[in-house]
Structure 1
Amino acid sequence: WSLAASFGVDDRCQSFHGAWKQVGTALFVGGDYRIQRATLSGNPLMIAIRGNWGFTDTEWTKQVQLIIEKERTFWRDNDFAYLLVTLAPFDQDGGSYGGSAYTNAFMMHLPRKATFSYPVISLLAHENFHIWNPYKMGGEQGPVLYWFTEGFTRYYTDLILFRSGFMSLGEYIEHTNEKLRKYELSPVRNVSNTDLTVRFESDRSVNDLPGERGMVLALWLDSHIRQQTRNSASLDAVMFTLFKEGRKRDFHLTIDRIISIAGRHLSANERRLLRQYIEDGTTISVPEFALAPCVHVRTESAFQFELGMDEESLRSKYIVSGVKPDSEAFKAGLRDGQKVVRLSVSWNDTSKPVKLTVRAADGDHAYEYSPRGPSMEIQQYQLVSPC
């Protein structure tokens, strides 16, 4: 039986000197965890693992070390007296991946048959990046800044994996296009930041919007900073300045502060657009690709996500209701009043089918359909020649 926490491993009595908010965001785990002890530039890295995996504890520890090292190199920051990373399985072989960042720690939950695939590697990089954004920039500020804390972290997760050789340019474009597609096809894309903040805790339809909007905004901002400075600066300069300012005791992230720092590298019109994108929810134009001249923007058609029935009734009551007569759901045979006993939906993703099992007097019946609605034009990146 092992104990692992934000302030030590296997010490039954622990002490900590620092801000009380760091205790409130601390991680504590206990149980049948296996402890791996490693170092990064002489600083302790503790890995707590439970469950049986397709990789060894040593292989997992090396992977964690490598990704953390790449991100510390990016930030030019090795000011870490201690870090804990925990890994535990979900009670299923496939499906969801999860992670959360804490004081001096982050935790990960993976399906039991997880491998070192993109979802796992990107989750590792994403959660570790939160150590800086937002925790070394003044701390978490809630949904009003999720476009930055989540969205910019999504952007840098893939960018650092690309820069570090974890993925090729083609793979980077593929993952970027996937995120662009979700943003462009989102039915709530133009919700204002104020409205989003109010609705975030109670309306699941807007939960993904901050991350989607912020990721595209980071692409736009990096591209325009490079254009204005003739490639002498990039979004990296904004992030480094925010990190430096975050060391000040009274510094807190705000929209005005982010715009002020980013605005040093933008024209007056670009500063106006930046505020519109953030506050008003104005649709963000997909920028020219900043990292390689052989990547161009192209326009293509894509289907909008359409469940074909009332989403809230399905989510909360597991009842089919409000089926649209011209929808794929109706064509598949779904009708109002059916009781759903099993459900699989990849929300806002038209590439994966909706699967439902409904219960009737003569037994259970399975239905499957593509959640496709009307098509619309979106912009995507295309690799047009070898770089």
Structure 2
Amino acid sequence: MFKRVLLTALLATFLFSCQKKSESDISYEISPVVIDSIPQLKIKMTLAANPDGTTELSFPDDAWGQEGLYNSLGKMQLLNVEGAIEKDADSGRIVLMHPKDVKELEFEYFLKQDFEGDISTRRIYRPIINQDYFHVFSHNMFMVPENVEDHQDILLDWSSFPTEYTIHNSFGSKEKVQMLNDQNMDLFGSAIFVGGDFRVFTGEIQGNQISLATRGEWIPFIDEEVFKVLEETLTCQRNFWNDHSQEYFTVTMQPFPQENGSSFQGTGLTNSFATSVSNNDQTDIGQMVYLFNHELMHNWIGHAIQNDNEEEQYWFSEGFTEYYTYKNIAKNRINGLEANFFMDEFNRTIRDLYASSVGEAPNSEINYDNFWTNYEYSKLPYWRGAIFAFYLDQKIQQISEGNQSLDDVMHQVYTDATTKDQKLTHDYFVGVVDAFWDGDFETIFQKHIEEGQKVDLVALFDELGLEYSPESDIYELGFEFTEDRKGIASVTEGSKAWEAGVRAGDEVFSRSMWQGSIDHEVELGLRRNGEKLNISFYPITKAAVPQLEPTSENSEKLGF
């Protein structure tokens, strides 16, 4: 494809040069090139020069968990003046040194893919540039001047690419010249840019454009199926919040190979959501339904409604998002899912919380270090917040005799956030819910969120007249790895792992595990006294953990 691009580049450049370019503070002309058989992007940047003779450009060497991003940079040169260029990886800056009397600089740099082989979850946030397509995030594609005003007029010129080469990004689709007037620079720095053999599906929701850009041959689903899920999700969520203000929104979906298991991730960006999904028969459309509904709900919970202290309010931004993910899907029957889906997911959330070794840790322990280094702490606010949201939803409906619900609380919080710049604090949240509560809500909040005590679900289910079973299987791995995860440190006697034959001291040469899942077997390849053992078991144990029964009576009482 890059060869075809080059054949048409001169003609496209000539045609564009005949057009009058709009004035801009910063312009980027992006062209496809092949250097030493390596496809690259050539970016010519025009910008104002600093009068002191030193102009600094921001370009992080480390970002989004990636290190050494400067490895993706090729040749760099000043085109209109003599000067020098320095890389300062420590500060994340490219320094241009030039004569002091220069008012404008023309600076050219090349961007390339700095790894070989297939993409993976570890590589998806690096520049991906090959003969068929490119997939790059703004922060590791576009250098931006330091110390400029917060809003700039930015010109993106893609005219060197041929007509059939898709250009798609956070600011538009299939536009070869994009003028971003009065562009917020922070939002410009949080964007996705793709091009090449991407297929773009578009639609409208109350006059606002939505799109899905994807590529490759998908194994688990078809494009139209995914776009329908996106369309249903955004329609229902925008209707819930009564917010149809976003004129343009896109989702990009990039496949990557994975032999065993399924994996998917998403990143919320300016006017967009970038996803990467394992492309095998162990991935299914149901996972996309969850991914879209959870992550896109963050447009409101977590973005419009901001936490005052990030991890401290994760019980809200992640937990309430989780609850409204299940509720939104079931209420609106997205992809045909109904009340039983809600009950299945809520039951799983109950099991996860009860099985967690940190299930009753105080909220103060959900801090930056714990959240980002410990799996159970990272999931705790999801589980705890979702169950607390369910509790509030049902109690408010009961108190108001069905006239109000947690939805009314959420709408009030959203209104205050968007009209008063109110951030989500504990005191603020307690004050809002107090207006819907009968009694001392502050004590309830202190007990279940601040202190971390579990909600008495048995008492709640009885009070609401819901049918439930008093016990269930919950996740129990039954053993602990050594610190290097190459051996078994200890085994819980009587556990399924113990019954299957796992013993302390065994060496581990292979493993297949689904963290927290009771529906998938743990498969271990062990070595003991020189003998190889292949062991598998379901990581479950019986516990007094209540589970809602999937009955029509429960569906009706829960409002589905």
2:224 match: 58
Matched to 1:65, the amino acid is E
In the alignment, is the contact (CA less than 8 A) between 1:259 and 1:275 conserved in 2? no
Q: Does 1:143 align with 2:311?
A: yes
Q: Greater share of strand residues, 1 or 2?
A: 2
Deviations 1:94-141 (A, max 9, x none): 422322322211122333246764322122211211111111113685
Cα distance in 1 between the residues matched to 2:241 and 2:213: 25
In the alignment, is the contact (CA less than 8 A) between 2:192 and 2:272 conserved in 1? yes
Cα distance in 2 between the residues matched to 1:231 and 1:133: 24
Matched to 1:39, the amino acid is E
Cα distance in 2 between the residues matched to 1:383 and 1:317: 39
In the alignment, is the contact (CA less than 8 A) between 1:88 and 1:109 conserved in 2? yes
Deviations 1:258-297 (A, max 9, x none): 222122111333331123211110111227569xx8x714
Deviations 1:3-32 (A, max 9, x none): 433223355656364655434543344554
1:289–1:210 Cα change, 3 Å: same
Cα distance in 2 between the residues matched to 1:117 and 1:9: 25
CA shift, 1:34, in A, is 2.3
Provide the alpha-carbon RMSD of the alignment. 2.9
| Equivalent residues, number | 381
Cα distance in 2 between the residues matched to 1:289 and 1:330: 35
2:169 match: 5
1:102 match: 269
Q: How does 1:86-235 map to 2 (within 5 A)?
A: 86-92=252-258, 94-113=261-280, 117-138=285-306, 141-165=309-333, 166-198=336-368, 199-235=370-406
CA shift, 1:239, in A, is 0.9
2:202 match: 37
Cα distance in 2 between the residues matched to 1:43 and 1:279: 41
Percent same amino acid among aligned pairs?
A: 26
Cα distance in 2 between the residues matched to 1:329 and 1:259: 44
1:232–1:253 Cα change, 3 Å: same
Secondary structure of 2:373's counterpart equals coil
1:72 match: 238
Cα distance in 2 between the residues matched to 1:29 and 1:318: 40
Secondary structure of 1:201's counterpart equals helix
Cα distance in 1 between the residues matched to 2:278 and 2:395: 40
1:321–1:253 Cα change, 3 Å: same
TM-score normalized with structure 2 length: 0.62
Deviations 1:336-373 (A, max 9, x none): 34332322222233343211123578675321123234
Matched to 1:70, the amino acid is C
Q: Does 1:260 align with 2:427?
A: no
CA shift, 1:85, in A, is 0.4
In the alignment, is the contact (CA less than 8 A) between 1:309 and 1:324 conserved in 2? yes
TM-score normalized with structure 1 length: 0.87
Matched to 2:229, the amino acid is Q
Task: Return 178-187 or 10-19, whichever deviates more.
Answer: 10-19
Matched to 1:188, the amino acid is V
Cα distance in 2 between the residues matched to 1:60 and 1:193: 37
**Residue 247 of structure 2: which of 69, 72, 81 is its match?**
81
1:132–1:218 Cα change, 3 Å: same
Q: Which structure: larger Rg?
A: 2
In the alignment, is the contact (CA less than 8 A) between 1:7 and 1:14 conserved in 2? no
Gaps of 5+ in 1: none
Q: Greater share of helix residues, 1 or 2?
A: 1
1:365–1:61 Cα change, 3 Å: same
1:342–1:203 Cα change, 3 Å: same
Q: Where do 4+ consecutive residues of structure 1 move more than 6 Å?
A: none
Cα distance in 1 between the residues matched to 2:228 and 2:552: 35
Cα distance in 1 between the residues matched to 2:203 and 2:435: 41
Q: Which has the higher contact order (CA 8 A, sep 6+)?
A: 1
Deviations 1:283-335 (A, max 9, x none): 11227569xx8x7143422344332222463xx43322123444332332333
1:58–1:339 Cα change, 3 Å: same
In the alignment, is the contact (CA less than 8 A) between 1:288 and 1:297 conserved in 2? no
1:50–1:364 Cα change, 3 Å: farther
Matched to 1:251, the amino acid is Q
**Residue 245 of structure 1: which of 406, 409, 416 is its match?**
416
Secondary structure of 2:383's counterpart equals helix
Matched to 1:22, the amino acid is L
**Residue 342 of structure 1: which of 500, 506, 510 is its match?**
510
Cα distance in 2 between the residues matched to 1:37 and 1:298: 44
**Residue 378 of structure 1: which of 525, 542, 545 is its match?**
545
Secondary structure of 1:173's counterpart equals helix
1:382–1:112 Cα change, 3 Å: same
Cα distance in 1 between the residues matched to 2:482 and 2:179: 46
